[in-house]
Amino acid sequence: ALEQGRKARSLQGVVIALTVILALLLSALALHQRRTTLRMRSLAMTDELTGVPNRRAVLARLEPLLAQSDKSPCALLIIDIDHFKQINDRHGHPEGDEALKLVAAKLRLAVAAPSFIGRLGGEEFVAVLPDTSLQRAGEIAESVRAQVMTIDTRRWLAERRITVSVGVTASVSAGDSSSTMLRRADAALYEAKRGGRNCVRFMPPPQAAASAEE
């Protein structure tokens, strides 16, 4: 009976040890799966070339801010690299990619948290500026434009500097959306392009424009 008791206790110890090992393995597997999921989610929301948030990520963060726009304004900049096609055509796509990376790095320096930047696609970037008036957004846009012009391109783009055109708008007190904000900023960007590029142009929200006309 004593021998059988010892065997039972020994078997019980083995079962407990195996249970602990299995629990540890399952925990490690769950942690690995969670990390993989977070990594995949991050990749889905990040621009692969520049490492900044992509269009999907920007819009996902912009919408909640606009839902609070009755409390404080939110400004938006669309930043477009001037004559980007010429860089690709004359120097090749690798140099064009390098230009995109350098511009993204400068935007990170010029736009401080809680504001954030992202890449809309192609040569267009966006900056979202919470709690920022149209006037202050214009000042930041000018800072962005100046920062980009400091990029050293002598080794591969000797004939000129990289410049950007910037369209600026701000949210209305209610009823604004990411699409209406982007349309206004894009219209302002178009005016900057028509104005000779390497400049900043504004498209005020409808209420502000109506007040200015009165």
**For 118, phi and psi rounded to 5 degrees?**
-165, 170
**For 82, phi and psi rounded to 5 degrees?**
-70, 140
Q: Which two tokens stand for residue 33?
A: 């799966």
In this structure, are residues 117 and 107 in contact, taking their beta carbons and an 8 Å threshold? yes
**CA pair distance 47, 117, nearest whole angstrom:** 11
123 in active site: yes
127 forms bridges with which residues in the sheet? 77, 117
DSSP H helical ranges for the chain: 2-44, 55-67, 84-91, 93-110, 134-149, 178-194, 206-213
Instruction: Decide the pairing of beta strands 164-170 and 200-202.
Output: parallel
Question: Quick one: 102 exposed, middle or buried, by C-beta within 10 A (0-12, 13-18, 19+)?
Answer: middle
Question: Of residues 48, 95, 98, 123, which has the active-site annotation?
Answer: 123
**CA pair distance 168, 160, nearest whole angstrom:** 25
Q: Which residues are catalytic?
A: 123
